[in-house]
Structure 1
Amino acid sequence: MKAAQITRFGAPDVLHIADIDRPTPGVGEVLVSVEASSVNGHDIVVRSGGLKMVSGRRFPIGVGLDFAGTIAATGAGVGGYQVGDRVWGTVHPRQRHATGAAAEYVLVPADRVAPAPAGMSSVDAASLVVAGTTALIALRDSVRLTRDERVLVRGAAGGVGTAAVQLAHALGGHVTALARDAHAETVAALGADDVLDYRTTTSDQIGPFDVILDTVGTDLHCYRSRLARNGRMVTVGLSAGALAAIAASSVHGARRIRAFSANPDAALLRDLAGYVTSGAVRPVVDSVWPLADIATAHQAFERGGVVGKQVITVSG
Structure 2
Amino acid sequence: MKRVSFAEFGGPDVLRLVDVEEPHAGPGQVRIAVRAAGVNPVDWRIREGQFQQTRPIELPAGVGLDASGVVDEIGEGVEGVEVGDRVFGEGSNTYAEFAVLSAWARMPEGLTFEEAAGYPSVVETALRIIREVGVRPGQTLLVSGASGGVGSAVLQIARDRDITVIGTAGAANQDYLRDLGAVATTYGEGWGERVRRLGHVDAALDLAGSGVLGELVELTGDPRKVITIADLGAPEFGVRFSGAAGSVPDALAEAVDLISRGELHIPVEKTYTLADAAVAHIDSRAGHTRGRRVVLV
* Counterpart for residue 274 of structure 2: 291
Q: Residue type matched to 2:204 in 1?
A: I
Check 1:286–1:201 CA distance in 2 against 1; reply closer, same or farther (3 A cut). Answer: farther
After TM superposition, the structure 1 = structure 2 runs for residues 1-316 of structure 1, keeping only pairs within 5 Å, are 1-53=1-53, 56=56, 58-91=58-91, 100-109=93-102, 112-139=103-130, 141-192=131-182, 194-207=183-196, 208-217=200-209, 218-227=211-220, 232-239=225-232, 241-245=233-237, 249=238, 257=240, 259-314=242-297
Identity of aligned residues (%): 30
Following the alignment from structure 2 to structure 1, what is the Cα–Cα distance between the partners of residues 59 and 243?
27
Following the alignment from structure 1 to structure 2, what is the Cα–Cα distance between the partners of residues 210 and 35?
41
Check 1:228–1:150 CA distance in 2 against 1; reply closer, same or farther (3 A cut). Answer: farther
Following the alignment from structure 1 to structure 2, what is the Cα–Cα distance between the partners of residues 54 and 233?
22
* Counterpart for residue 252 of structure 1: none
Contact 1:166 1:280 in 2 (8 A): yes
Contact 1:145 1:171 in 2 (8 A): no
Following the alignment from structure 2 to structure 1, what is the Cα–Cα distance between the partners of residues 226 and 58?
37
Q: Residue type matched to 1:167 in 2?
A: I
SS of structure 2 residue aligned to 1:187: helix
What is the root-mean-square deviation in Å for CA atoms of aligned residues? 2.0
Q: Cα offset for 1:258?
A: 6.0
Contact 1:153 1:175 in 2 (8 A): yes
Q: Cα offset for 1:305?
A: 2.3
Following the alignment from structure 2 to structure 1, what is the Cα–Cα distance between the partners of residues 141 and 27?
44
Q: Matched residue pairs, number?
A: 293
Contact 1:210 1:230 in 2 (8 A): no
Q: Residue type matched to 2:229 in 1?
A: V
Segments of 5+ residues of structure 2 without an aligned counterpart are: none
Q: Residue type matched to 2:201 in 1?
A: F
Contact 2:141 2:204 in 1 (8 A): yes
Q: Cα offset for 1:56?
A: 4.0
Contact 2:122 2:149 in 1 (8 A): yes
Following the alignment from structure 2 to structure 1, what is the Cα–Cα distance between the partners of residues 25 and 243?
30
Following the alignment from structure 2 to structure 1, what is the Cα–Cα distance between the partners of residues 283 and 213?
25
